[in-house]
Amino acid sequence: GAGVSQTPSNKVTEKGKYVELRCDPISGHTALYWYRQSLGQGPEFLIYFQGTGAADDSGLPNDRFFAVRPEGSVSTLKIQRTERGDSAVYLCASSFGPGWEQYFGPGTRLTVT
Amino acid sequence: AQSVAQPEDQVNVAEGNPLTVKCTYSVSGNPYLFWYVQYPNRGLQFLLKYITGDNLVKGSYGFEAEFNKSQTSFHLKKPSALVSDSALYFCAVTHGSSNTGKLIFGQGTTLQVKP
């Protein structure tokens, strides 16, 4: 079956611009996660959705970051007023729920110039 | 706070030899432990997990891992390494009673298998 997909695969934007990153999870997975991976580091948790609601957004670094999942499937991570420090690979994962293994998408590489 | 340590940045083994990639963790309560592999320009792939039960768990591609509660370790092993096993490996943990399942990852260990 289809895995987790993410678009775009690469995004280059100028400092101060707004970006949206999209994640399409595995069908039937109610849990959806966003992580951020910087070069040479392990992924860092950003936000968790159970269904349509953000059940844990404790990993979002500041209020420039926001994510939605309006219909309990596709999710969009939104970053306002991008900064060079936001440059990283943004990973999306989905699972059947907490404690189940998470399946990751290929990621979106964001570069802020 | 939860944490994961992978003490080796890189592990080098010869093809056909056994391999071990080390992982230790810190979490309150019962841990759920995972290993993922990341090939260049590809996403993280799930290898195996420990939730409860037998301390030795078997996963994909011939990998296995041993949960040791007293040493708070979850080392990844394979009896006979292949060149194609060369990749970046991540250990991850979540709290067994977590209502989010968010994963805390280690820094990663690069496995290099030489012919």
- Over residues B4-20, the pLDDT tens digits come to 999 999 999 999 999 99
Q: Is residue A110 assigned to a domain?
A: no
Residue-level pLDDT at B35: 98
pLDDT recorded at residue B61: 93
Identify all chain A residues contacting B107, using CB atoms and an 8 Å cutoff.
40-42
Comparing CA positions, the residue from A71, B35, A62 lying closest to residue A47 is: A62
Dist. CA A2–CA A6, nearest whole Å: 12
Q: What is the average per-residue pLDDT within A88-98? A: 95
Neighbours of B84 (CB within 10 A): 10
Domain that holds residue A24: 5-100
Q: Is residue A112 part of a domain?
A: no
Cβ–Cβ gap B32/A95 under 8 Å: no
Q: Specify the pLDDT at position A2.
A: 85
The verdict on residue A18 lying in a domain is: yes
The reply to whether A108 falls in a domain is no
B99 contacts A45? CB cut-off 8 A = no
Q: What is the pLDDT of residues B27-56, one digit of tens each?
A: 888 899 999 999 987 889 999 999 988 999
B98 touches chain A (CB under 8 A): yes
What pLDDT does residue A32 have? 97
Q: Report pLDDT digits (tens) over A37-72.
A: 999 899 999 999 999 999 999 999 999 999 999 998
The total number of structural domains in chain A stands at 1
Q: Which domains does chain B have, with CATH numbers?
A: 3-114 (2.60.40.10)
Of A55, A97, A102, the CB nearest to B103: A102
Q: Which of B36, B44, B93 to mutate to test the interface with A (most CBs of A within 10 A)?
A: B44
Find which of B100, B104, B105 to mutate to test the A interface (most A CBs within 10 Å of its CB). B100
CATH number at residue A58: 2.60.40.10
Cβ neighbours of residue A21 under 8 Å, at least 6 residues apart? A6, A7, A8, A11, A76, A77, A78, A79, A90, A108, A110
Q: pLDDT-derived band of residue B113, with 50, 70 and 90 as boundaries?
A: very high
State the average pLDDT for chain B.
94
pLDDT tens-place string over residues B61-103: 999 999 999 999 999 999 999 999 999 999 999 986 777 889 9
Average pLDDT over residues A90-105: 94
What is the pLDDT of chain A when averaged over all its residues?
95
A16 part of a folded domain? yes
The pLDDT value recorded for residue B2 is: 85
Q: In this predicted model, which residue has the larger pLDDT, B99 or A85? A: A85
C-alpha angle with apex B97: B6 to B55, nearest 5 degrees?
Answer: 55
With respect to residue A109, please indicate whether it lies within any of the assigned structural domains: no
What pLDDT, on the 0 to 100 scale, is given for residue B78? 98
Cα torsion angle, B87, A40, A42, A56, sign? negative
| pLDDT of amino acid A1 | 57
Asked, for residue A64, whether it belongs to a domain, the answer is yes
